Amino acid sequence: MAPLIPGHHDLDGTLMKLGFFTMPIHPLAKDWRQSLREDQEAFILADELGFTEAYVGEHATDQAENITSCMLFLATLIDKTRSMKLGTGTVNLPNSHPVAVASHIAMLDHLLDGRFIFGISPGGLISDAEVFGNLDADRPAMFLECIDTILEIWRREPPYRIEGKFWTVTTERTLLADIGQGVLPKPLQRPHPPIVVTAVAPFSKGVTEAAARGWDPISANFLMPGWVRSHWPKYVEGCERGGRRADPANWRVARSVFVADDLATARDYAMDPDSPYRFYYSQMLTKMKRAGRLELFKTSRDMPDEEVTLDFVCDKLVTWGTPDKVADELLAFRDEVGPFGTMLYAGHDWVDRDLGRRSMVLLAEEVLPQVDTGRRAAVEAAE
């Protein structure tokens, strides 16, 4: 077992939870209705299998990543899921008015009876930024002002007077409190739903700032393990500043995983030229290269760009195999990056619906128990 990251407390063999995270990347020619139905089906299956939480992303200007509103998508699952928490993964705050986000999230939290997690980010798709008119704006500043405004809305009583650089919120001129006019709704969970942020940069300063505010991180599935590992010290730093314990149970790490009953099927589905996993990472590689963020796919910052090939990326970022092989590799991955509380199974297109579903079933029913047993054995051996 690899040594723990300095300052990192292990989970004492506690069961690693399973979650689901999808920023679905579908073939451009696929019928949108089919891809939406399959994305819904994956959430429903995750709930049936005992996954503890599930997140979905959103983009307005991407034919492949074609869920345009994570809140609207989650609303379709309210009565189709029973126990799993549903999360926005994420609401891209600079692209929305804080009043719209605050009121929609408050309603969604009530509709889900508090079974909701609020995932937020500045948004990483540059075509979304352009279409919403903030491509050249200070988007990190917009992100912070938007979430601060949302939280202030939920803290205050009307009439509101919240002034910022980008948005001003007020109902002073139109408030009729006795009939409820001019009153913004509050979420069911008080003071607000749990807040998570996606971390996509090595040594992310955003993780530190989020932790200081009481929020928790999700490390993206398109980061090399070394960069994922770098998030924990930044989380510790932020927790210390915020006066709270850095609990690894609150750290979520996404991973691209495919499990099959036999090795040949697993290899073919995960690594063949028409693999949905290769398609996913070819899209991400193209986008990140264009955005000047190729570093995410490097194992060191001085790695030459020409060495960052699709084969290299898929080899490093996709865990595939039989349940035994996947369990061993997830244990090794968890030892490499440090203990985390929830592994988020990254959703990919169901090129083969039966194999896509079978992978999730095998992960929950055969891989997870082996990972749990392996972690407990490692903890006992270290004591």
> In the prediction, which pLDDT does 10 show?
47
> In the prediction, which pLDDT does 181 show?
98
Q: Is 92 helix (H, G, I), strand (E, B) or coil?
A: strand
Low-confidence ranges of the chain (pLDDT < 70): 1-14, 379, 383
> In the prediction, which pLDDT does 8 show?
38
Distance CA 104, CA 322 (A): 42
Q: Per the structure block, which two tokens stand in for 73?
A: 């998508």
> In the prediction, which pLDDT does 13 show?
54
Among the residues of the chain, which ranges form H helices?
A: 32-48, 70-75, 98-111, 126-131, 139-155, 205-212, 225-229, 231-242, 263-271, 276-290, 310-317, 323-337, 353-362, 368-382
Torsions phi, psi for 101 (to 5 deg): -65, -50
Distance CA 160, CA 150 (A): 12
With contact defined as beta carbons under 8 Å apart, do 154 and 187 qualify? yes
Query: pLDDT of 39-51, one tens digit each?
Result: 999 999 999 999 9
With contact defined as beta carbons under 8 Å apart, do 231 and 156 qualify? no
Q: Is 312 exposed, middle or buried (0-12, 13-18, 19+ CB in 10 A)?
A: middle
Does this model's pTM top 0.85? My answer is yes
Nearest by Cα to 334 from 294, 365, 374: 374
> In the prediction, which pLDDT does 29 show?
96
* Chain centroid, CA 66 distance in Å: 16
Side chain identity, residue 57:
G
Query: pLDDT of 134-152, one tens digit each?
Result: 999 999 999 999 999 999 9
